[in-house]
Chains A and B, each alone.
Chain A
Amino acid sequence: KAGVTQTPRYLIKTRGQQVTLSCSPISGHRSVSWYQQTPGQGLQFLFEYFSETQRNKGNFPGRFSGRQFSNSRSEMNVSTLELGDSALYLCASSLASYTDTQYFGPGTRLTVL
């Protein structure tokens, strides 16, 4: 069974631009979560989607948004990029609920110049 895939793997943007990252979950998984990983803050939860609905949201500004499609694929968008948005963005999928293990993709490395 294929794992979680994320595209692109690497991105370089400049301040003020916007970016869209994509995540394809494991087949049959309906929950997709997004995390930001930075050396200073570690791993922080962004949001979680289930059946095209945002079910949970972390403490990030409104510049960070996401959505989920009917095939469970998910995208996250960051508008008006700031230098501090440089990070590894990880997507994780699970079957449905918190009792199901989350499986992570390889991440998208975003660099903001």
Chain B
Amino acid sequence: GDSVTQMEGPVTLSEEAFLTINCTYTATGYPSLFWYVQYPGEGLQLLLKATKADDKGSNKGFEATYRKETTSFHLEKGSVQVSDSAVYFCALIKGGSEKLVFGKGTKLTVNP
């Protein structure tokens, strides 16, 4: 079946450091790809998405590019802030299933 694999962390960075969280997927067809973020005690918030190969999603300084050749959707940010501390989930969805398939999540802690 379809699956998402992401680095599990935890990841600890200093403020203004560069962030990369790796995400790869296994799926037939052409899934749409997402990054969601979960802050402590809250639900999931959509961070960015890409619906076809070579699309780049971006939001709040975060970016990810849909790479079909490597089945990857790595999340990057050039300069993290303390407020970026959260758990990040990579996910995919395909037509016909209507369900999001999530990775295990990566906990990010940014220290001042």
Using a CB–CB cutoff of 8 Å, the interface residues on chain A facing chain B are 4, 6, 31, 33, 35, 42-43, 45, 48, 50, 55-56, 58, 90, 92, 97-99, 101-107
Contact = CB atoms under 8 A, between A and B. Distances in A.
B27 interface: no
B32 A98 contact: yes
A42 B45 CA distance: 16
Contacts of B104: 42
B77 interface: no
Contacts of B105: 42-43
B44 interface: yes
Interface in B1-48: 32, 34, 36, 42-46
Interface of B: 32, 34, 36, 42-46, 49, 51, 89, 93-105
Contacts of A97: 95, 98
Contacts of A55: 98
Contacts, number: 58
B44 A90 contact: yes
A98 B44 contact: no
Contacts of B43: 4, 6, 90, 104-107
A85 to B, nearest CB: 19
B102 A102 contact: no
19 contacts: A4-B43, A6-B43, A33-B100, A35-B100, A42-B102, A42-B103, A48-B99, A56-B98, A56-B99, A90-B44, A98-B32, A98-B93, A98-B94, A98-B98, A99-B51, A101-B46, A103-B46, A106-B43, A107-B42
A52 to B, nearest CB: 15
B99 A33 contact: yes
Contacts of A101: 34, 46, 49
A42 B34 CA distance: 16
A110 to B, nearest CB: 14
Contacts of A6: 43
